[in-house]
Amino acid sequence: MGDSLDPTLLDGAGLAPSEAISFFRQKALLPSERFGEVMGEAHARAFTVAGATSQALLTDLKAAVNTALTSGATLADFRKDFDGIVAKHGWEHGSDPGWRAKIIYDTNLSTAYAAGQYAQMATPEARDIFPAWRYRHHSCPHPRPEHVAWDGLILANDDPWWDTHFPPNGWRCHCTVEPVTRSDLRRNNWTISEAPALDLRPWRNPATGKTEMVPKGIDPSFNYNPGKAWQENQKAKTAVQPKLEPRPSVRPEHPVTAPPDHQAQQAKDVEALLKPGAHGEVTAGTMPAEVQRVLGSQTPDVILSDDTLNKNIKHGEVETYYVDLPKMISAPDVVLPASKPLHVRLVASHKSRLFNIVVKRTGDGTKNYVQSFQRISAKDVRRWLRKYAPLFGGKTDFPESGE
C-alpha cells in the first residue's frame, strides 16, 4: 500500500522536536462523519478522524497522539490507548482496530514531524545555509513507483514543487526531505534540478461528490505542505489585527448587506438550530461591508454553529434573542477590536437592551463565526470605548436600561 515505516523517524524513536509538538497541539478539534469532509491544508489547523463525530472522542484521541509525540510512545503503546478509548466511547469505526490505530498514529506523527522539520528548514538562516533540499525514499516491500523515482531529487529550497510534494505524500508514506549545503553539492557532484512536471489526475471526493485534481503519486488530501500551511496560518492570525483600523464615527450609509427577505430566512435558520437535538451550522447574519473589510474577510456572512450555541446559551432570556442576530449583525451600533487577532466585537442595541457579539474570522479568511453572544451593560461599552478606538460607529449614549 505504501512506504514502510522508517524506525529512525517514528515508533518510539524518542521525543518529537518542539516544533512538531507545537504544530500538533495548535490543532482544533473538528468532528467529521467520513473521509473527504476535511481535506488538504485544513488538516494543518484541525485534528480530525473520519467517523469521529464526538468532541469527547476526539479529545481523547488527540490526547493519545499527543502522548505518543511527547513521550516517544510506540505504536504498541498507542494501540493500547486506542483500544481503551474505543471501548470508553463505544465507537463503531467500522474497520480493523489494529489498522485504524496504525493509520491514526502514522499519519499524525509523520505529519507533525514533517511540519516541525519544515519549520526548522524554512528559517532565513537555514535557507541560506541549505540552498537545496533532497527528496529521500526509504525502502519498503511495496514502494510507490513515483516515490522511488523522486528519491535523490534535488530542488531549490523555495521551489513550488515542495508546496505539494513535501512528504508524507500518502497513507503510510515515510519519505523524508534532507537539507543540502553548497559543499554537499560540490563534494557529491550534485546539481539542483528542475521540478518534475505535475501530472494531475481526477479524483472524486466521496463526501462531496466533487471531482478534484490530485498529482500522480500523491494520495488525496496529502497534496499540501503541512509545515508551510501551518506557518501561513500563524502569519494570518498575527497579520489581521493591524488591518483593523478605525473608521469614521458614523453608521454605515448602507448598513444592511443582506436584503430583509434574506434576514428573515436567516432568522428561521437560527430558530431551527435552537430546537432540541438540532446540529450543524447556519448563517446567522450578514455583516456590513465596512466590518467585512476591517476584518479582512472574503465573505460578509457570519456562521453560528450548534457547538457555539450550546456553549453560549446561559439562560432562556438570552436564548430568545438569538433569532434577532441577523438584524443585530447587519446593523451594529459600534464595532470595536476584540482582545484577540481575527476577532471583532459588535455592539448592538435592540429592544432597549444591549448585546455583545464577538465574531471570529478563520485563518484563511473564507469564513466568519459567532464566538459569543451575550447581554451587556452601557457601562461595559463605555469601558471598552476607553480602551479601544471604534473601528466604525461612535454611539456612546446607550440606554441605561441596558445596565
Q: What is the pLDDT of residue 401?
A: 45
In 3-state terms, what secondary structure has residue 94?
Answer: coil
What the block records as the C-alpha cell of 292 is 467585512
Q: Which residue has the higher pLDDT, 367 or 391?
A: 367
In 3-state terms, what secondary structure has residue 29?
Answer: strand
Residue 94 has pLDDT above 50, yes or no: yes
Residue 248 has pLDDT above 80, yes or no: no
Q: What is the pLDDT of residue 11?
A: 43
pTM of the model: 0.59
Q: Which residue has the higher pLDDT, 115 or 297?
A: 115
Residue 152 has pLDDT above 60, yes or no: yes
For 392, phi then psi, to 5°, come to -165, 165
Q: How far is CA 214 from CA 61, 96, 145, 203, 254, in A?
A: 29, 27, 16, 7, 43
Residue 93 has pLDDT above 70, yes or no: yes
Q: By C-alpha distance, which of 381, 385, 389, 392 is closest to 250?
A: 392
Q: What is the mean pLDDT of residues 143-147?
A: 95
CA 259 to chain centre: 31
State pLDDT tens for residues 355-383. Answer: 999 999 988 888 999 999 988 888 888 88
Q: Of the given ranges (92-96, 247-251, 318-322, 361-365), which has the lowest mean pLDDT?
A: 247-251
CB contact set of 348 (below 8 Å; sequence gap of 6+): 328, 329, 331, 332, 333, 354, 355, 357
- For residues 173 and 144, the answer to whether their CB atoms sit within 8 Å is yes
Q: Which amino acid is at 35?
A: F
Q: CA 127, CA 120: separation in Å to the nearest integer?
A: 9
Proportion of the chain above pLDDT 70, given as a percent: 86
Q: Which burial class, exposed, middle or buried, applies to 11 when counting CB atoms under 10 A from its CB (0-12, 13-18, 19+)?
A: buried
**Gyration radius (Cα) of the chain, Å:** 25
Q: What is the pLDDT of residue 221?
A: 95
Beta bridge partners of 343: 360
- For residues 132 and 192, the answer to whether their CB atoms sit within 8 Å is yes
- For residues 302 and 351, the answer to whether their CB atoms sit within 8 Å is no
Q: What is the pLDDT of residue 403?
A: 42
Q: By C-alpha distance, which of 57, 205, 43 is closest to 111?
A: 43
Q: What is the pLDDT of residue 260?
A: 56
- For residues 272 and 304, the answer to whether their CB atoms sit within 8 Å is no
Checking DSSP bridges between strand 176-180 and strand 200-204, what pairing results, if any? Answer: unpaired
Q: By C-alpha distance, which of 109, 90, 157, 155 is closest to 129?
A: 157
- CA-CA-CA-CA dihedral for 214, 219, 224, 227, to nearest 10: -170
What ranges do the domains of the chain cover? Answer: 18-197+209-236, 241-402
Q: What is the mean pLDDT of residues 155-176?
A: 95
Cα 293–Cα 231–Cα 245 angle in degrees, nearest 5: 25
- For residues 43 and 85, the answer to whether their CB atoms sit within 8 Å is no
Q: CA 361, CA 205: separation in Å to the nearest integer?
A: 26
CB contact set of 142 (below 8 Å; sequence gap of 6+): 1, 2
